[in-house]
Structure 1
Amino acid sequence: MDNEYADEGTDIRNNVKDIAKRQKRFQTSTNVAFYVYLSHHPQYNKHETLVFDVEETDTGDNYNANDGIFDVPVTGTYVFTVTVGSLHNGFVTAEIIVNGQVKGTAFANSEHIHDDHSASGTIVVHANAGDHVFVRKGATSDNYPIISDNAYIRTAFCGWLLF
């Protein structure tokens, strides 16, 4: 009798572990979202990756605050958005890069207006698990810093799994 119950206990523990693994996989596949932003006015060179230093939301811990890259955890259709700010008398382009290809841009131009401006760009794209998505300063940018810490403009990057 004791051996029979011992086997049932092992089966129950294995079933609980399997259920936990399935739940984690389900959560990973349906709960993918991040929102990060810059807390200061960084100076970036053209084609340099923007490294957003504030992680407001990162449900799957897939955004790397050390290198600025979002690692796609699950194959699917994603929405990515970038907002970028330019200082007065300047202009800046931010490019959304998916696996080395420019998929979207945002161009903020206040060169002739003498005011701070922002612009946003949004893409909907199919991405495979393991793909890399990031934002870089575009070639169509001047040498002014990117603005991000005033009351009206926040340079930010976000994304989420649509389906």
Structure 2
Amino acid sequence: MNFFVFFFLVFPTWTSAMNDVEHLNVHEQIKTLQSMVNELKNLVHVQSQRNDHLERLLSDNRNEVKELKSQFLNELRNLKSNFSKLDVVDSNQNRFLAKLKRDGLNTNRFIHSLTNRQLRLEKMHALVTEDQKELRNLSDGNYSVELIEKKSENSLRHVDKIKKRLLSPQTTSGDAIAFYAFMSSILWSPWRGRILVYDVVKTNIGNGYRSHTGVFLVPKSGVYVFTWTFRTGSSHDHSIQLMKNKKDIGSVYFHTGVDGVEAGGTGIVVTHANAGDDVFTRTNPTLNIGTGHYIQSDAHGRSSFAGWKIF
């Protein structure tokens, strides 16, 4: 009886205490779980930010790779273009060197021919001089000696005339003198003060123009008209002078001003020239011409030099 009374009095109190303990444990677990959930949320947020940052870096790297690839392709195309230009320059230089060799051989032959002619004339002059001395020693009378000396002097004048004809430019009959010549190909990077050579001769009445030097040797004194034309391009500039002996008697300056565009300039001068004067064109020695500049001459436009005597 007493046991049952005790049981019924104590059991409810014990049960309530146990329920309170369990309730406290569950509350603590819930707090722990909430704390873990919050930490996981923070971790997910941080990881999301990291992922966004990595994606931005990846996108920037892709753009940079594309830009580097584009630059590489452009540089590769430029290199190919430069190699092609170098091949053209090398081919032109080889042709120019071959032409210089041919012109050198022709000049040597011409000089050798003149030297032989001069030697023959000197021998003739020596023979005539010896004959004159021998004739003067003759004692056939004053009249005969004077007559023979006059004939000898006439022979000497004749020899001098032949010598002048052999050593001076050969002209045609009359006073007609004219020439026209142009460059056969492009002239790369001409240095300052360079005499321009127009190697293709179309007209040379009076034989005053020299295709191997670019110089017109005036055959007869008079008033002449000279004109010169040059063509350049790719934003390059040139100044070409007309020279008479060492004097500048005309000058033309031209600048294209635009890359990839070619154009030309022309000068014309009327001047008096004496027989034996040298007339030629040259690049201006005071203008600094950059590397890669050129004077163009082809079927689309010739760089040329011409002149003629008007009276």
TM range (shorter): 0.7 to 0.9
TM-score, normalised with respect to structure 2 = 0.42
CA displacement 1:73-125 (0-9 Å, x = unmatched):
00000000010111221011111100111111222211346410101000000
Q: Is the 8 A contact 2:171 2:207 kept in 1?
A: no
* Cα RMSD for the two superposed structures: 1.9
Q: Which runs of at least 4 in structure 1 moved beyond 4 Å after TM superposition?
A: 25-29
What is the count of residue pairs matched by the alignment? 138
Amino acid paired to 2:238? V
The equivalent residue for 2:72 is none
Report the structure number with the largest CA radius of gyration: 2
More helix by share: 2
Q: Is the 8 A contact 1:52 1:68 kept in 2?
A: yes
The equivalent residue for 2:298 is 149
Q: CA deviation at 1:39?
A: 1.2
Q: Is residue 295 of structure 2 the alignment partner of residue 140 of structure 1? A: no
- C-alpha separation in 1, matches of 2:233 and 2:243: 23
SS in structure 2 at match of 1:149: coil
**Structure 1 unaligned spans of 5+:** 1-24
* Pair 52,114 (structure 1): closer, same or farther in 2 beyond 3 Å: same
SS in structure 2 at match of 1:160: strand
Q: Is the 8 A contact 2:233 2:259 kept in 1?
A: no
Q: Is residue 238 of structure 2 the alignment partner of residue 92 of structure 1? A: yes
- C-alpha separation in 2, matches of 1:122 and 1:111: 23
- C-alpha separation in 2, matches of 1:87 and 1:130: 36
* Pair 95,26 (structure 1): closer, same or farther in 2 beyond 3 Å: closer
The equivalent residue for 1:83 is 229
Q: CA deviation at 1:147?
A: 0.8
- C-alpha separation in 1, matches of 2:213 and 2:306: 15
CA displacement 1:36-61 (0-9 Å, x = unmatched):
10011113211100011100110111
Considering Cα pairs closer than 8 Å and 6+ residues apart, tell me whether 1 or 2 has the greater RCO.
1
SS in structure 2 at match of 1:140: coil
The equivalent residue for 1:18 is none
- C-alpha separation in 2, matches of 1:28 and 1:109: 43
The correspondence of residues 1-12 of structure 1 with structure 2, limited to 5 A, is none
The equivalent residue for 1:30 is 175
Q: CA deviation at 1:29?
A: 4.8
* Pair 141,29 (structure 1): closer, same or farther in 2 beyond 3 Å: farther
More strand by share: 1
Q: CA deviation at 1:140?
A: 2.8
- C-alpha separation in 2, matches of 1:109 and 1:148: 16
The correspondence of residues 1-163 of structure 1 with structure 2, limited to 5 A, is 27-43=172-188, 44-112=190-258, 114-138=260-284, 139-140=286-287, 142-143=289-290, 144-151=293-300, 153-163=301-311
Q: Is the 8 A contact 1:85 1:92 kept in 2?
A: no
Q: CA deviation at 1:26?
A: 8.8
Amino acid paired to 1:111? G
- C-alpha separation in 2, matches of 1:103 and 1:38: 22
CA displacement 1:120-147 (0-9 Å, x = unmatched):
0000000000000001011336231101
* Pair 26,67 (structure 1): closer, same or farther in 2 beyond 3 Å: closer
- C-alpha separation in 1, matches of 2:303 and 2:288: 15
CA displacement 1:2-30 (0-9 Å, x = unmatched):
xxxxxxxxxxxxxxxxxxxxxxx994552
Amino acid paired to 1:156? S
Identical-pair percentage: 30
